[in-house]
């Protein structure tokens, strides 16, 4: 077995949710009176905790307006925006294959809130896939490595037996801070050249290639 613990990012790695994140954030910024946010600017912050994402998107924003933007984003993402979100093709089958080993552990490390991750777990019936998860609101936002440290401790796995899989430099730099192996996936929001700067042990160009590599 290559790794005893495989830790996945969520948005842009397992689930094709970037389009809803972008449209929800743009609608929220407009309603908060901030103005237009370009698509690429919003895509760039996917993976960060929501407070960190807003601070980066809207430098100098005051606390009241930031809270309004946060609440309107939550509304649009959960209720107001119907942009479809689905697992990338092959993800479900790949997870089932990894779960076939009783010795392997699977986890999620995400910039979502606990409430948000639990909701998507329920909607997609996917909580049963994972042995543990961490969210940005209950620990530290990426790229700080605290959520990975907590997952390693909870599951009693040494850092050398674990790998982080993600589509952003925030995922990879979080793992790099612990000298944890990291795998970049190229179908998400950050460009391959940007991901390569974090020195991943593997660059997966398709979902099938990712799970084949993890099972070797």
The structural domains of the chain, ordered by start, are 5-16+85-215 (3.40.50.1000), 18-80 (1.10.150)
> What does the pLDDT read at residue 1?
74
**pTM of the shown model:** 0.94
CA Rg value for the chain: 17
pLDDT tens string 133-184: 999 999 999 999 999 999 999 999 999 999 999 999 999 999 999 999 999 9
- 3-state DSSP assignment of residue 183: strand
- Per-residue pLDDT averaged across 65-83, rounded? 91
In sequence order, the 6+-apart residues with CB closer than 8 A to the CB of 135 are: 110, 111, 112, 113, 114, 116, 117, 147
> What does the pLDDT read at residue 69?
96
pLDDT tens string 95-116: 999 999 989 999 999 999 999 9
pLDDT tens string 3-48: 999 999 999 999 999 999 999 999 999 999 998 999 999 999 999 9
Closest CA to 53 of 89, 92, 11: 11
The answer to whether the beta carbons of residues 162 and 181 sit under 8 Å apart is yes
- d(C-alpha 43, C-alpha 37), whole Å: 10
Residue 124 structure tokens:
């997609």
Residue 87 structure tokens:
């697992």
For the purposes of burial, counting CB atoms within 10 Å of the CB of 35, is it exposed (0-12), middle (13-18) or buried (19 or more)?
exposed
Confidence of residue 2 (pLDDT cuts 50, 70, 90): confident
In sequence order, the 6+-apart residues with CB closer than 8 A to the CB of 172 are: 164, 166, 182, 184, 195, 198, 200
Residue 19 CB coordination number (10 Å): 14
């Amino acid at each position: 077995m290559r790794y005893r613990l495989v830790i996945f990012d969520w948005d842009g790695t397992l689930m094709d949710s970037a389009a809803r994140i972008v449209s929800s954030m743009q609608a929220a910024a407009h309603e908060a009176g901030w103005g237009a946010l370009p698509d690429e600017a919003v895509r760039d912050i996917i993976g960060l905790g929501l407070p960190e994402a807003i601070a980066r998107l809207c430098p100098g924003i005051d606390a009241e307006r930031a809270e309004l933007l946060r609440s309107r984003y939550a509304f649009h993402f959960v209720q107001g925006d119907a942009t479809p979100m689905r697992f990338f093709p092959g993800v479900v089958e790949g997870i089932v294959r990894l779960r076939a080993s009783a010795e392997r552990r699977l986890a999620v490390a995400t910039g979502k809130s606990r409430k948000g991750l639990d909701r998507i777990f329920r909607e997609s019936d996917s909580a049963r896939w994972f042995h543990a998860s961490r969210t940005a609101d209950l620990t530290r936002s990426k790229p700080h490595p605290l959520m990975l440290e907590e997952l390693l401790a909870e599951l009693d796995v040494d850092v050398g037996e674990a790998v982080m899989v993600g589509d952003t430099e925030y995922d990879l730099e979080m793992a790099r801070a612990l000298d944890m192996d990291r795998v970049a996936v190229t179908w998400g929001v950050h460009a391959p050249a940007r991901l390569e700067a974090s020195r991943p042990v593997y660059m997966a160009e398709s979902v099938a290639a990712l799970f084949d590599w993890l099972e070797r």
